[in-house]
Amino acid sequence: MQPNLPVRRLMALASLALLLPACGRTAQGSAPLAALAAAGEPVLNELYYDAPGTDAGTFIELKGPAGKSLSGYTLAAYDTAGTQYRTVTLSGTIPASGYYVVAQDTTVASRTLVSSGADLNNGSGSLHLLKSGALVDAVAYGSPTTGRGEGTPAPTTGAGSALARVPDGQDTGANSADFKVQGATPGAANGGGTGGGGGTGKKVLFDLTKAEDAGNADWRIDGAYSDYAAALRGLGYTVASLTGSAVTSTSLSGVAVLVIPEPQNPFSDSERAAIQSFVQNGGGVFFITDHRVSDRNNNGWDSPEVFNGWDGSSPTSVSATLQASLNTDGLFGLGASFNSSFSDPVYTATPLTSHPILNGVSSAGVYVGTSVDVRSGTALMGTGGKTYLAVNTVGTGRVAMWGDSATFGDNTYSDGSTGQYNNWPNLGNAALGKNVVRWLAGDL
């Protein structure tokens, strides 16, 4: 039997004048809720319930008055059908920071209380904050069949991201308006604006000027990268494709991050200059390569050669304006290796150092590609003495290079067919792909 949803009661008669009417907003399948939390009461501020792989390091964050006692407060978790499956008893007081963090385990930073009950259901569910059984605050997320939140539910996160009130602590009485998907920030303020994680309004542009969808490749945001694009939109970014035949300073105006996934045609001197200026002046570029001899349109260029420049072989004749192509190793310190490409093995790249991009990332599959030659910058992931993800800061901008185009695809081509490598994992909704763009955009 599902428990009845209690009406939010006043904590003190003095707070009566501070409460706003519900204005018709109701929790789905439950009694009406007041629009705002009572004055002086904490709110459910951030939920990190779906970590990559086996859940670890999950948490529930409250925001409230420093020093407030939480004696008598509990958390009640409900599954997608609205059935309560967990209760967590709170204790102690809200720290001076104003954030009280209930952590699944001791790996969570700024934790206040450790309880395995902080690992909530993935996908869809609801969470209540109660005081002596009276409802103080409520959040529903995903698509629960019986929502026990305020207004329409907040979105679900996908593995590696958190659900957070943005702006920090905002409570309008509508979960869908108050909560955004962003990177986890236990014990710290959430992102500003309306998109979460600082990504609001920032544009991520996926290049299509260099035949990235030629042959059996389909690195389009409406094709094999559709999941990657959707994950970035979930963080509040605007995602679009750059079409036509050239990258120009005009086309990069207003862009935060340019993604170049396995290009098949070389870049001209003017294009290289435009991209160099873009980075020098604060832009971010994500170079995604593949293995040598991955020439999809049979013009003699593969992606490592496009990034590093003509190798003097095929094609046998190249105009001077195209020979250098992007020259990423010389200009940006990161090059797609000509010497360690592979088309058959499967490698597991693991973190080589600590870095914000690696938050929530324990490993990533490298299926066909090449290692990254790091002339300057930082090697982030690798195996067997080789680097497969590296980053660098150039001017006021940032660059990253990854050695395998397939890692970020969902294997579904834009014509609806399925890629031949349908066992490649979908990392578009995982922490790695999102973290790279967030770091390049200056949001991590």
pLDDT tens column, 400-428:
999 998 887 765 555 555 443 333 344 44
Residue by residue, DSSP assigns 189-252 as PPP-TTTSTT-TT-EEEEE-TT-TTSTT----TTTTTHHHHHHHHHTT-EEEEE-SS---TTTT
Going by the DSSP 8-state scheme, the letter that residue 406 receives in this structure is G
Structure tokens at 344: 């058959």
CA distances from 141 to 123, 126, 152, 251 (A): 8, 6, 9, 37
Domain ranges of the chain: 13-182, 203-440
Question: Within 10 Å of residue 78's Cβ, how many Cβ atoms?
Answer: 27
d(CA 325, CA 270): 10
The top-level CATH class assigned to 203-440 is alpha beta
- CATH code, residues 13-182: 2.60.40.1260
pLDDT of residue 177: 86
> Does the reported pTM lie above 0.85?
no
pLDDT tens, per residue, the chain with 444 residues: 333 333 333 333 233 333 333 332 333 333 333 334 567 899 999 999 988 777 888 999 999 999 999 999 999 999 999 999 999 999 999 999 899 999 999 888 889 999 999 999 998 999 999 999 999 999 999 889 887 899 989 988 877 788 999 888 888 889 988 898 877 888 888 864 333 344 456 899 999 999 999 998 889 988 888 878 877 877 778 899 999 999 999 999 999 999 999 999 999 999 999 999 999 999 999 999 999 999 999 999 999 999 999 999 999 999 999 999 999 999 999 999 999 998 888 888 999 999 988 877 888 888 889 999 999 999 999 999 999 999 999 999 999 999 998 887 765 555 555 443 333 344 444 678 888 998 999 887
d(CA 109, CA 111): 5
Contact of 265 with 208, CB cutoff 8 Å: no
pLDDT of residue 51: 80
CA distances from 152 to 25, 29, 44, 172 (A): 9, 11, 16, 12
Edge-to-edge order in the sheet of strand 73-78: 84-89, 73-78, 125-131, 134-141
d(CA 436, CA 215): 27
Structure tokens at 329: 């190793």
pLDDT of residue 237: 84
